[in-house]
Amino acid sequence: MKNKFYITTPIYYVNASPHIGHTYTTVAADVLARYHRQLGDKTFFLTGTDEHGAKIAAKASEAGQEPQQFVDLTAQEFQSAWKSLNISHDNFIRTTDPEHIKAVQAALRFMYEKGDIYLGNYAGLYCRGCEQFKNEKDLVNGLCPDHKIAPEQMSEETYLFKMSKYARELLVKIRNDEIKIRPEGRKNEVVSFIEKEGLQDVSFSRKNVKWGIPLPWDSSHTSYVWADAFLNYLTGLGWQGPKDKCPEMWPAEVQLMSKDILRVHATIWQAMLLSLGLPTPKELFIHGFFLVDGQKMGKSLGNVIAPQDLITRYGVDGTRYLLMSATAFGSDGDVSWQKFDDKYNADLANGLGNLVARVSNLLEKNNITLNIKISASDFKKDYAAAMQELKLDRALEILWQVLRRADETLSARKPWELADKEEIKKILEPVAQDILNVAELLQPFMPETVAKVIKQFSEPKIKKGEGLFPRV
Ligand SMILES: [Zn+2]
């Protein structure tokens, strides 16, 4: 029997345009989805956008737009970015979808009627100018950045989710890997956090935020981000609420995310699932952050890298390759245009691209006929092991070792200096075979390029094709 594979990215908050961070997560999810489809697994890949909240309403009004109009435009930006990167998601969920809203309301009602949501108070820093609570981290020198005034400590009526009720159950599930959190260090962080601080009940609604999903039993409140955003992982599969059966593809095999949202995913999201009586995801995988030239990326630093900038310089597959090979998947990485240029020229222009060109050129020039097919290779097992462990950079490195070895063979034996056709063929045939086998395994990473190479090298008369990766 084939396995199922459900993979999600976080839904991206539409207060900003897509950048390299979103792109990294999404390409990684795409690579894994394509890999599992290739294995024949029943695969579903979900991504989307998180579109509610006071911040979005404020951004929209800044832009002189209605919130819906504003989120439509930004969601479109994400969709076109993914389209241009050849992302193969099965659904793109938006939290303003009417079906999503209905299901979130049904879930909230279920939790409320169960006694897991109750009326209480939320205390925090309130800006009178914004008419909103602010997070400590949004303040600049203790002041609201928009109103330049210090927010006041205030308390407001809110509905709270009884997360404390699920703390013990959750801790057990995380400790024994029923909810696997990888890399291991991230799991340890979550476990020690819950052990040390326990789980407090969490504010689930806001009173003065209009741009959100109204609570079905009290329309003076809208849902705060948690229920609204996390439930996308279910509604994206068509789930209509707690009365609906658990979707066939749920639970997710892998939920990808960066470390800044791990804690809320490992606690609030899991506790919600327990409250709803649904299975928890099998694995949360936390990938690293990119620094750009050693600095955190930010608008104010002017170092934001947009997906389109990368595509323009390196092409679609070049971009996908550079992102996936930039750092050990799960660790932080430091990127720069210089590093990307160097890696692109070394691995793609002078590496894969040059090897394919040299071999096909020699075969055509010497009128050599080959009959090779994709076949079992000694490196396939290592590659598969790396992919199963989500070591995407390692999987690529295994394939590049083969390509470099092939290159060395050519340089050592110099078939272009030989006259005997059979001699030349003896050198080129195993190299062409390696190229074909590498191409098969590279498909999830560089689908377009590899389709060309496979087609080219599956012909008995291999011809020199167009250059794959022009130097930058
Ligand atoms: Zn303010």
User: Residue 17 C-alpha to ligand 1 middle, in angstroms?
Assistant: 23
Task: Tell me the CA–centroid distance for residue 145 and ligand 1, in Å.
Answer: 7
Q: Report how far ligand 1's centroid is from the alpha carbon of 55 (Å).
A: 11
The helix/strand/coil state of 467 is coil
Active site residue 265: no
Rounded distance from Cα 57 to ligand 1 centre (Å): 13
The percentage of the chain sitting over the pLDDT mark of 70, rounded to a whole number, equals: 100
Closest CA relative to residue 93, chosen from 38, 126, 124, 50: 50
Is residue 58 scored above 60 in pLDDT? yes
Q: Which one, of 139, 169, 163, lies nearest residue 152 by Cα?
A: 139
Confidence band of 379 (pLDDT split at 50, 70, 90)? very high
Superfamily for the 336-457 domain: Isoleucyl-tRNA Synthetase; Domain 1 (1.10.730.10)
Q: What is the mean pLDDT of the chain?
A: 95
Within 10 Å of residue 73's Cβ, how many Cβ atoms? Answer: 14
Q: For 343-354, what is each residue's pLDDT tens digit? A: 999 999 999 999
Q: Are 245 and 274 in contact (CB under 8 A)?
A: no
Give the distance (Å) from ligand 1 centre to CA of residue 131.
7
Q: What's the gap in Å between 258 CA and the centre of ligand 1?
A: 28
- SS3 breakdown of the chain: % helix, strand, coil, rounded to 5? 50, 15, 35
The whole-number average pLDDT for the span 308-324 is 97
Q: Catalytic: which of 147, 381, 426, 463?
A: 147
Q: Ligand 1 centroid to 435 CA: how many Å?
A: 59
Q: Has 144 been annotated as catalytic? A: yes
- Mean pLDDT over 210-225 rounds to 97
Mean pLDDT (whole number) for 39-60: 96
C-alpha 381: how far from its chain's center? Answer: 25
The alpha carbon of residue 335 and the mean position of all alpha carbons in its chain are separated, in whole angstroms, by 18
| Active-site residue (options: 89, 130, 162, 221) | 130
Q: How far does CA 284 lie from the centroid of its chain?
A: 12
Mean pLDDT to the nearest integer, 368-392:
95
464 belongs to the catalytic site? no
pLDDT at residue 136 above 90? no
Distance 140 CA to ligand 1 centre (A): 11
Question: Which of the listed ranges 144-148, 149-153, 197-201, 241-245 does the model predict with the highest average pLDDT?
Answer: 241-245
Tell whether the model's pLDDT for residue 161 goes beyond 70.
yes
Q: Residue ranges of the domains in the chain?
A: 336-457
d(CA 23, CA 305) in angstroms, rounded, equals 10
CA of 178 to the centre of ligand 1 (A): 43
For ligand 1, the distance from its centroid to the CA atom of residue 211, given in whole angstroms, is 17
pLDDT band per the 50, 70, 90 thresholds, residue 1? low
What H or E segment, with its residue span, contains residue 437?
helix 421-442
pTM above 0.85, yes or no: yes
pLDDT at 208: 84
According to DSSP, residue 141 is labeled T
Angle, helix 447-457 to helix 354-365, in steps of 10 degrees: 20
pLDDT at 296 over 90: no
pLDDT in tens, 221-230: 999 999 999 9
Mean pLDDT, to the nearest integer, of 136-151?
Answer: 88
Proportion of the chain above pLDDT 90, given as a percent: 88
| Average pLDDT over every residue of 146-165 | 93
Question: Is-catalytic flag, 130?
Answer: yes
pLDDT of 163 > 60? The answer is: yes
How far apart are the CA of 277 and the centre of ligand 1, in A? 39
Distance 152 CA to ligand 1 centre (A): 11
Q: Is 246 a catalytic residue?
A: no
On the question of pLDDT at 297 being above 90, the answer is: no
| 89 assigned to active site | no
Rounded to an integer, what distance in angstroms lies between the CA atom of residue 421 and that of residue 262? 59
Residue among 2, 210, 296, 455 flagged as catalytic: 296
Catalytic residue among 52, 59, 127, 265: 127
Confidence band for 302, pLDDT divided at 50, 70 and 90 = confident
Whether residue 359 is predicted with pLDDT greater than 60 in this model: the reply is yes
Average pLDDT over residues 150-163: 94
Q: How far is CA 280 from CA 180, 251, 301, 443, in A?
A: 10, 6, 39, 31
